[in-house]
Structure 1
Amino acid sequence: MNEGLVVLVRSIIAFFSLLIFAKILGKQQISQLTFFDYALGITIGSIAATLTTDLSSRAWPHFVGLLTWCLLGYLMEYVTEKWRYAAKYIEGEPTIVIMNGKIMENALKKMKYTATDLIGLLRVKDVFDLSQVDFAIIEPNGQLSVLKKPEYEPLTPKDMSILKAPSGISTELIYDGILINENLKQLNKTEKWLMSQLKTHEIKDVSEVFIATLTPSGSLYIDKYDDHMLKVTDIGDYKGPY
Structure 2
Amino acid sequence: MIESFVVVVRAIIAFFTLLIFTRILGKQQISQLSFFDYITGITIGSIAATLTTDLTSRAWPHWVGLFLWTLLVFIFQWITLKGRNIAKYIDGEPAIVILKGKIMEDTLKKTRYRAADLLKLLRSKDVFEISEVEYAVLETSGELSILKKAESLPLTPKDIGLLTSYKGISRELIYDGKVMEQNLNYIGKDEKWLLNQIRSNGFGSFDEVFLVLIDESNKLFIDGYRDSRNEKEPKTLE
Do the two structures share a fold, i.e. TM-score over 0.5?
Answer: yes
Q: Could you tell me whether the CA contact under 8 Å between 1:31 and 1:141 is conserved in 2?
A: no
1:161-240 correspondence to structure 2 within 5 Å: 161-228=161-228
User: TM-score of the superposition, structure 1-length normalised?
Assistant: 0.84
- Deviation larger for 95-104 or 17-26: 17-26
Contact 2:133 2:147 (8 Å CA) reproduced: yes
State the AA in 2 paired with 1:172. E
Return the alpha-carbon distance in structure 2 between the equivalents of residues 128 and 9 of structure 1.
Answer: 53
Which residue in 1 is equivalent to 2:235? none
**Structure 1: unaligned runs, 5 residues or longer:** 231-242
Separation of aligned partners in 2, 1:17 and 1:168: 39
Measure the CA separation in 2 of the matches of 1:29 and 1:64. 20
The answer for the alignment partner of 1:74 in structure 2 is: 74
Q: What's the secondary structure of 2:158's corresponding residue? A: coil
Partner of 1:142: 142
**Would the aligned equivalents of 2:97 and 2:137 in 1 still touch at CA under 8 Å?**
yes
Q: Deviations over 1:163-210 (max 9, x none)?
A: 434211122222333333332112222334334433443444334333
Amino acid across the alignment from 1:83:
G
- Aligned CA distance change for structure 1 residues 70 and 203 (closer, same or farther; 3 Å): closer
Structure 2 partner of 1:100 = 100
SS of the equivalent of 1:137 reads strand
**8 Å contact 1:187–1:216 — kept in the other structure?**
no
Q: Which runs of 5+ in 2 are unaligned?
A: 231-238
Moved more, 69-78 or 10-19: 10-19
- 1:37 maps to 37
Q: Structure 1: which amino acid aligns with 2:128?
A: F
- Inter-partner Cα distance in structure 2 for 1:203 and 1:5: 50
Shift of residue 136, structure 1, vs aligned partner: 0.5
What are the within-5 Å matches in structure 2 for residues 85-96 of structure 1? 85-96=85-96
What amino acid maps onto 1:52 in structure 2?
A: T
Q: Secondary structure of 1:97's partner?
A: strand
Alpha-carbon distance change, 88 to 162 in structure 1, aligned in 2, over 3 angstroms:
same
1:105-120 superposed matches below 5 A: 105-120=105-120
User: 1:143 Cα deviation (Å)?
Assistant: 0.4
Pair 1:229–1:112, CA change in 2 (3 A): farther
Sequence identity of aligned pairs in percent? Answer: 57
Query: Compared with structure 1, are the counterparts of its residues 210 and 3 closer, same or farther at alpha carbon in structure 2 (3 Å cutoff)?
Result: closer
Give the aligned residue type for 2:13: I
**Root-mean-square deviation over aligned CA pairs:** 2.3
In 2, the alpha carbon distance for the partners of 1:7 and 1:25 equals 26
